[in-house]
Amino acid sequence: MTYLITIIVFLVIFSFLILVHEIGHFVMAKRAGIKVEEFGLGLPPRIWGKKKGETIYSINWIPFGGFVRMYGEDGSEQKMLRSKRSFVGKPMRARVKVVIAGVVMNFLVAWMLMVVGFTAGMQPLLVPDEILGAINSGELVVEPGLIVKEVEEGSTAYDLGFKKGDTLHSFDGSRLNEFVLEDVIGNSAGNYFVVDVDGTKREIVAREEFSGLTFYDFSFFPRAKIFDLPEEATAYKYGLRAGDIILTVNGEQVFSVKDFEELTRGRGILDYEVYRNGVIENFLVVRSEIQRVIVSDVVPSSPAMESGLASQDIILSINGKEMADAREFVEFVWEHKDETLAFVIQRGENTLFYEIKPDENGRIGVVLSELIGYGADRGMRLYNIGFLSSVTEIKDEKYPFHVSLYKAFGETYKLSKFTVVMFGDFVGNLVRGGGVRESVAGPVGIAQMTHVFVQEGFIPILRFVAILSLSLAVINILPIPALDGGRLLFILIELIIGRRVPQRWESFIHAFGYILILLLILAVTYGDIVRIANS
């Protein structure tokens, strides 16, 4: 029954989006005075039709979208060029409006659906460049490892002892990397090392392929891993070990060695969150020898000299912020150049306090150097890795209606750019012989995604429809023969060269475009079927 509902929802969604697109062409053609011969719901052959005025309104057998048939759309007869009621007989401006009207309608539908979604509360539409920032902000919640989302009660996975929330740590003695992950996702036979939500570790032995186990979405996120750590290092004495994967330092996410260096530079107390042997552990490391900013000279008649700063003063903090290096000092003073700053200074055995206001150039007039204590973590070496983590939650964003209006507009613009890039990568990969990537879905794949969103509820479906409408709009406006963008391209060529492209050439190119699009659809659909068969 669920799959029947999915099929119905899939047909309704696609028909709605295509119908909205065609309504755009229909309305603009009528406004331009073009004779619309037929407006059809569904695709031929026709079930029923009624002529009202000069237009036949029809219902057709194939329940998929709709179409608009305009007089003179293909310009196959010479008399159409002279007719004021034909598409090809209209001025370029009118033809442009008719051509882009369908795309505009799909953009508007996507925007309106996003407005509704953000007003009600909807997950943000994240593109790859935003993922790490979303994790940092807490908008995207990720947890280490491959985490079980559901275990079907009574299934073979349930009988084996898998539980919701289990984290899979290794398979047949190997950590979960790209080479064994396919076997794990496929519920293959083997030895599974599992960690409970409470940190208890256990082994599950599956002697044959099983079923009933599903996982959260996952990816290999960048992280920093400790390569080696000698016993004399401070971090070792406080509990860190080689092989630990550093997740956060002082509550800030660590995605690379560079992040680690920036977060630890000059800090005396470091609160580590690390992943070790299937569980997350916390360590508080107190470092006695750290990097400091030291004044090597003071500029005469500067705010620093007038306030009393002297050479060899060690700057401990400004406005309560601990100073780790000279660059951080300069940036902080510049950002607060209109304020009087509170300095805490170490001079010999004494701690002194100064208030200094930067000059109009955002400077206090000191020459800086860095006092570095090398003994703290000498010998500690790290490297960057791709660390398997599960996306357990994407938090909803909810705004007042007036904020949702421009928030939805920004999301529409962002996703439009991303769709163009993705489509370019898809075509480029096909041309290079790389086949169809798993991230690209055709009708079968979209139907499969529809099934998932139907189960998740109204707002996820609404979000899904918005993305589909936007994708339909963006791809349709690209300068590809047979699509709206291809027709628009010929009108622009006409504008540039001052005459129409011969109709037989335009018709031939559009026909060639139809064949290419059909081949692309077949290629993507084949990829969908192969993925489903192998899943």
* CATH at 190: 2.30.42.10
Q: Which residues are catalytic?
A: 22
What local confidence, expressed as pLDDT, does residue 304 receive? 92
Rounded Cα distance, 505 and 432, in Å: 28
Give the ranges where 36-177 is alpha helix by DSSP (H): 78-82, 92-120, 131-137, 156-160
343/420 same-domain check: no
Q: Is residue 387 part of a domain?
A: no
Closest by Cα among 143, 24, 135 to 476:
24
**Tokens of residue 3, six digits:** 């799959």
- Provide the number of structural domains found in the chain: 3
Rounded Cα distance, 478 and 416, in Å: 11
Which residues, 6 or more positions from 218, have their beta carbon under 8 angstroms from its beta carbon?
146, 147, 388, 389, 390, 391
462/512 same-domain check: yes
DSSP state of 122: B
311/407 same-domain check: no
Q: Is residue 417 part of a domain?
A: yes
Q: Which residues of the chain have pLDDT under 70?
A: 1-6, 64-65, 74-82, 266, 288-291, 370-378, 426-457, 514, 517-518, 520-535
Q: Is residue 51 part of a domain?
A: no
97/150 same-domain check: no
SS3 512: helix
Q: Is residue 460 part of a domain?
A: yes
85/142 same-domain check: no
118/139 same-domain check: no
361/425 same-domain check: no
444/529 same-domain check: yes
What local confidence, expressed as pLDDT, does residue 384 receive? 92
Q: Is residue 527 part of a domain?
A: yes
Q: Is residue 508 part of a domain?
A: yes
Range of the domain at 491: 2-35+71-123+402-534
Q: Which long-range contacts (CB under 8 A, 24 or more apart) does 486-492 make?
A: 486/510, 486/513, 487/99, 488/96, 488/99, 488/100, 491/92, 491/95, 491/96, 491/99
Q: Is residue 406 part of a domain?
A: yes
335/456 same-domain check: no
Rounded Cα distance, 410 and 110, in Å: 12
143/110 same-domain check: no
Rounded Cα distance, 524 and 432, in Å: 16
- Residue after which a domain boundary falls, among 219, 253, 269: 219
What local confidence, expressed as pLDDT, does residue 374 receive? 42
To the nearest 10 degrees (0 to 180), the angle between helices 458-477 and 443-456 is 150
pTM: 0.67
27/101 same-domain check: yes
Q: Which long-range contacts (CB under 8 A, 24 or more apart) does 460-464 make?
A: 460/123, 461/9, 461/13, 462/113, 462/116, 462/117, 462/122, 463/113, 463/114, 463/117, 463/122, 463/123, 463/125, 464/13
Which residues, 6 or more positions from 81, have their beta carbon under 8 angstroms from its beta carbon?
72, 75, 88, 89
